[in-house]
Amino acid sequence: MSERAQRLLELADDELIVGWRDSEWTGIAPTLEEDVAFSSIAQNEIGHARALYELAAAELGTGPDELAFDRRPDEYRCAPLVELHLLDWAHTIARRYLYEEADRVRIEALKSSDDAEVAGLAAKIDREEVYHRLHAELWAARLREEPRFRDAVAELWPYALGVLPPELRPELARRVGLEPASNSPLRAAERGSHTEQLRELWEEMTEVRRSAPGAQW
Protein backbone atom coordinates (compact mmCIF):
# COMPACT_ATOMS: atom_id res chain seq x y z
CA MET A 1 0.00 0.00 0.00
CA SER A 2 1.37 3.44 -0.90
CA GLU A 3 2.22 6.13 1.68
CA ARG A 4 -0.64 8.17 0.27
CA ALA A 5 -3.20 5.38 0.70
CA GLN A 6 -2.02 4.75 4.25
CA ARG A 7 -2.36 8.43 5.18
CA LEU A 8 -5.81 8.58 3.56
CA LEU A 9 -6.95 5.52 5.46
CA GLU A 10 -5.68 6.97 8.74
CA LEU A 11 -7.79 10.06 8.20
CA ALA A 12 -10.77 8.18 6.84
CA ASP A 13 -10.75 5.66 9.68
CA ASP A 14 -10.46 8.46 12.26
CA GLU A 15 -13.46 10.24 10.72
CA LEU A 16 -15.49 7.04 10.35
CA ILE A 17 -14.96 5.87 13.90
CA VAL A 18 -15.37 9.27 15.56
CA GLY A 19 -18.47 9.80 13.39
CA TRP A 20 -19.78 6.39 14.48
CA ARG A 21 -19.16 7.29 18.11
CA ASP A 22 -20.79 10.70 17.71
CA SER A 23 -23.80 9.12 15.98
CA GLU A 24 -24.44 7.17 19.20
CA TRP A 25 -25.80 10.41 20.64
CA THR A 26 -28.55 10.79 18.04
CA GLY A 27 -31.78 10.59 19.99
CA ILE A 28 -30.23 10.79 23.45
CA ALA A 29 -28.24 14.03 23.70
CA PRO A 30 -28.78 16.29 26.75
CA THR A 31 -31.15 18.70 24.98
CA LEU A 32 -33.24 18.27 21.85
CA GLU A 33 -31.72 21.30 20.15
CA GLU A 34 -28.22 20.00 20.81
CA ASP A 35 -29.23 16.51 19.66
CA VAL A 36 -30.12 17.83 16.20
CA ALA A 37 -26.91 19.87 15.91
CA PHE A 38 -24.69 17.08 17.18
CA SER A 39 -26.18 14.59 14.76
CA SER A 40 -25.20 16.85 11.86
CA ILE A 41 -21.62 16.79 13.07
CA ALA A 42 -21.67 12.98 13.15
CA GLN A 43 -23.12 12.85 9.64
CA ASN A 44 -20.53 15.32 8.36
CA GLU A 45 -17.74 13.14 9.71
CA ILE A 46 -19.15 10.05 8.03
CA GLY A 47 -19.39 12.14 4.86
CA HIS A 48 -15.74 13.14 5.17
CA ALA A 49 -14.81 9.50 5.77
CA ARG A 50 -16.69 8.50 2.63
CA ALA A 51 -14.91 11.11 0.50
CA LEU A 52 -11.53 10.03 1.87
CA TYR A 53 -12.34 6.35 1.31
CA GLU A 54 -13.28 7.18 -2.25
CA LEU A 55 -9.83 8.64 -2.91
CA ALA A 56 -8.12 5.65 -1.33
CA ALA A 57 -10.48 3.18 -3.02
CA ALA A 58 -9.63 4.52 -6.47
CA GLU A 59 -5.98 3.79 -5.79
CA LEU A 60 -6.60 0.41 -4.15
CA GLY A 61 -9.10 -0.86 -6.71
CA THR A 62 -11.99 -1.27 -4.32
CA GLY A 63 -14.96 0.73 -3.03
CA PRO A 64 -15.61 3.01 -0.06
CA ASP A 65 -18.03 0.63 1.67
CA GLU A 66 -15.55 -2.23 1.30
CA LEU A 67 -12.88 -0.13 2.98
CA ALA A 68 -15.25 1.13 5.70
CA PHE A 69 -16.76 -2.23 6.62
CA ASP A 70 -14.91 -5.21 5.18
CA ARG A 71 -11.52 -5.02 6.89
CA ARG A 72 -10.62 -6.81 10.10
CA PRO A 73 -10.37 -4.66 13.24
CA ASP A 74 -6.56 -4.85 13.27
CA GLU A 75 -6.46 -3.52 9.70
CA TYR A 76 -8.02 -0.18 10.61
CA ARG A 77 -5.62 2.73 11.00
CA CYS A 78 -7.55 4.94 13.39
CA ALA A 79 -6.04 6.53 16.47
CA PRO A 80 -7.11 5.21 19.90
CA LEU A 81 -8.80 8.52 20.77
CA VAL A 82 -11.70 7.89 18.42
CA GLU A 83 -12.20 4.28 19.54
CA LEU A 84 -12.99 5.05 23.16
CA HIS A 85 -16.56 4.44 24.23
CA LEU A 86 -17.42 7.71 25.97
CA LEU A 87 -21.17 7.81 26.40
CA ASP A 88 -21.15 10.66 28.90
CA TRP A 89 -21.34 14.25 27.87
CA ALA A 90 -18.24 15.61 29.60
CA HIS A 91 -15.98 13.06 27.89
CA THR A 92 -17.82 13.39 24.60
CA ILE A 93 -17.35 17.16 24.47
CA ALA A 94 -13.76 16.83 25.67
CA ARG A 95 -13.07 14.45 22.79
CA ARG A 96 -14.91 16.67 20.28
CA TYR A 97 -12.88 19.64 21.37
CA LEU A 98 -9.51 17.87 21.33
CA TYR A 99 -10.22 16.01 18.11
CA GLU A 100 -11.23 19.18 16.29
CA GLU A 101 -8.05 20.94 17.45
CA ALA A 102 -5.90 18.04 16.32
CA ASP A 103 -7.79 17.74 13.07
CA ARG A 104 -7.36 21.43 12.35
CA VAL A 105 -3.57 21.11 12.68
CA ARG A 106 -3.36 18.24 10.23
CA ILE A 107 -5.92 19.64 7.77
CA GLU A 108 -3.91 22.85 7.56
CA ALA A 109 -0.88 20.79 6.61
CA LEU A 110 -2.88 18.83 4.02
CA LYS A 111 -4.32 21.95 2.39
CA SER A 112 -0.84 22.84 1.24
CA SER A 113 -0.11 19.34 -0.03
CA ASP A 114 1.39 18.92 -3.53
CA ASP A 115 -1.28 16.30 -4.15
CA ALA A 116 -4.07 18.37 -5.74
CA GLU A 117 -6.82 15.84 -4.98
CA VAL A 118 -5.89 15.58 -1.33
CA ALA A 119 -5.41 19.35 -0.97
CA GLY A 120 -8.78 19.99 -2.61
CA LEU A 121 -10.61 17.55 -0.37
CA ALA A 122 -8.83 18.93 2.71
CA ALA A 123 -10.06 22.42 1.80
CA LYS A 124 -13.64 21.18 1.45
CA ILE A 125 -13.47 19.36 4.75
CA ASP A 126 -11.96 22.42 6.40
CA ARG A 127 -14.84 24.63 5.27
CA GLU A 128 -17.33 22.30 6.96
CA GLU A 129 -15.14 21.87 10.03
CA VAL A 130 -15.43 25.61 10.74
CA TYR A 131 -18.84 24.86 12.22
CA HIS A 132 -17.60 21.86 14.18
CA ARG A 133 -14.96 24.05 15.77
CA LEU A 134 -17.47 26.76 16.63
CA HIS A 135 -19.65 24.15 18.26
CA ALA A 136 -16.78 22.56 20.20
CA GLU A 137 -15.49 25.93 21.36
CA LEU A 138 -18.96 27.00 22.45
CA TRP A 139 -19.29 23.96 24.66
CA ALA A 140 -15.70 24.06 25.93
CA ALA A 141 -16.20 27.66 27.00
CA ARG A 142 -19.44 26.88 28.77
CA LEU A 143 -18.04 23.83 30.57
CA ARG A 144 -14.67 25.40 31.36
CA GLU A 145 -15.40 25.64 35.09
CA GLU A 146 -16.97 22.20 35.28
CA PRO A 147 -14.55 19.75 36.95
CA ARG A 148 -16.01 16.82 35.01
CA PHE A 149 -15.03 18.47 31.77
CA ARG A 150 -11.57 19.57 32.87
CA ASP A 151 -10.81 16.09 34.18
CA ALA A 152 -12.01 14.55 30.92
CA VAL A 153 -9.76 16.82 28.86
CA ALA A 154 -6.76 15.93 31.02
CA GLU A 155 -7.59 12.23 30.74
CA LEU A 156 -7.95 12.36 26.95
CA TRP A 157 -4.93 14.59 26.30
CA PRO A 158 -2.47 11.72 25.67
CA TYR A 159 -4.97 10.23 23.24
CA ALA A 160 -5.35 13.56 21.44
CA LEU A 161 -1.61 13.71 20.92
CA GLY A 162 -1.76 10.26 19.34
CA VAL A 163 -3.96 11.57 16.54
CA LEU A 164 -1.03 13.55 15.12
CA PRO A 165 2.43 12.59 13.93
CA PRO A 166 5.11 13.72 16.43
CA GLU A 167 6.19 16.77 14.44
CA LEU A 168 2.69 18.30 14.69
CA ARG A 169 2.16 17.68 18.40
CA PRO A 170 3.87 20.81 19.76
CA GLU A 171 1.48 22.89 17.64
CA LEU A 172 -1.49 21.08 19.18
CA ALA A 173 -0.09 21.58 22.67
CA ARG A 174 0.34 25.27 21.96
CA ARG A 175 -3.25 25.67 20.73
CA VAL A 176 -4.92 23.72 23.50
CA GLY A 177 -2.71 25.35 26.12
CA LEU A 178 -1.84 22.02 27.66
CA GLU A 179 1.92 22.24 27.69
CA PRO A 180 3.23 19.33 29.67
CA ALA A 181 5.80 19.89 32.38
CA SER A 182 9.05 20.77 30.65
CA ASN A 183 10.94 17.86 32.16
CA SER A 184 8.63 15.14 30.91
CA PRO A 185 8.28 14.18 27.26
CA LEU A 186 4.92 14.41 25.51
CA ARG A 187 3.51 10.95 26.03
CA ALA A 188 0.88 9.84 23.60
CA ALA A 189 -1.51 6.94 23.06
CA GLU A 190 0.03 6.11 19.70
CA ARG A 191 -1.73 5.20 16.51
CA GLY A 192 -0.88 1.65 15.53
CA SER A 193 -2.40 -0.41 18.28
CA HIS A 194 -6.07 -0.72 18.98
CA THR A 195 -8.26 -0.78 22.03
CA GLU A 196 -10.66 -3.61 22.86
CA GLN A 197 -13.36 -1.03 22.34
CA LEU A 198 -12.65 -0.93 18.62
CA ARG A 199 -13.33 -4.62 18.32
CA GLU A 200 -16.68 -4.23 20.14
CA LEU A 201 -17.56 -1.28 17.89
CA TRP A 202 -16.56 -3.26 14.80
CA GLU A 203 -18.76 -6.22 15.82
CA GLU A 204 -21.77 -3.95 16.07
CA MET A 205 -20.89 -1.85 13.02
CA THR A 206 -20.49 -4.86 10.73
CA GLU A 207 -23.16 -7.17 12.17
CA VAL A 208 -25.78 -6.64 9.48
CA ARG A 209 -23.25 -6.46 6.67
CA ARG A 210 -21.55 -9.70 7.70
CA SER A 211 -24.92 -11.47 7.82
CA ALA A 212 -25.02 -11.39 4.00
CA PRO A 213 -21.53 -10.83 2.58
CA GLY A 214 -21.55 -9.24 -0.86
CA ALA A 215 -25.27 -8.49 -0.68
CA GLN A 216 -26.72 -5.15 -1.72
CA TRP A 217 -28.43 -3.12 0.98
Report the interface residues with other proteins, using CB under 8 A: 20, 23-24, 26-37, 39-40, 42-43, 46-47, 49-50, 53, 64-65, 68-69, 88-89, 131, 134-135, 138, 142-143, 146, 148, 204-209, 211-212, 215-217
Cβ atoms of 52 and 12 within 8 Å: the answer is yes
77 φ/ψ angles, rounded to the nearest 5 degrees: -115, 25
Closer to other proteins by CB, 123 or 134: give it. Answer: 134
- Which is closer to other proteins, CB of 131 or CB of 190? 131
Asked if residues 164 and 102 have their Cβ atoms less than 8 Å apart, the reply is yes
Name the minimum Å distance from CB 154 to other proteins.
18
- Of 154, 155, 162, 56, nearest to 99 by C-alpha is 162
d(CA 80, CA 196): 10
Nearer to other proteins, 33 or 114 (CB): 33
Q: Closer CB to other proteins, residue 1 or residue 208?
A: 208
Q: Please, what is the minimum distance in Å from the beta carbon of residue 134 to other proteins?
A: 7
* Shorter beta-carbon distance to other proteins: residue 23 or 197: 23
Nearest-approach distance from CB 178 to other proteins, in angstroms: 22
> Which residues, at least 6 apart from 95, have a Cβ–Cβ distance to it below 8 Å?
18, 21, 81, 82, 84, 86, 152, 156
Residue 216: CB minimum distance to other proteins, A: 5
Shortest Å, Cβ 77 to other proteins = 17
Is 159 within 8 Å of 81 (Cβ atoms)? yes
CB atoms within 10 A of CB 122: 23
* Per-residue DSSP letter, 148: H
Nearer to other proteins, 142 or 187 (CB): 142
CB-CB contact of 162 with 14 (8 Å): no
Shortest separation between residue 22's beta carbon and other proteins, angstroms: 10
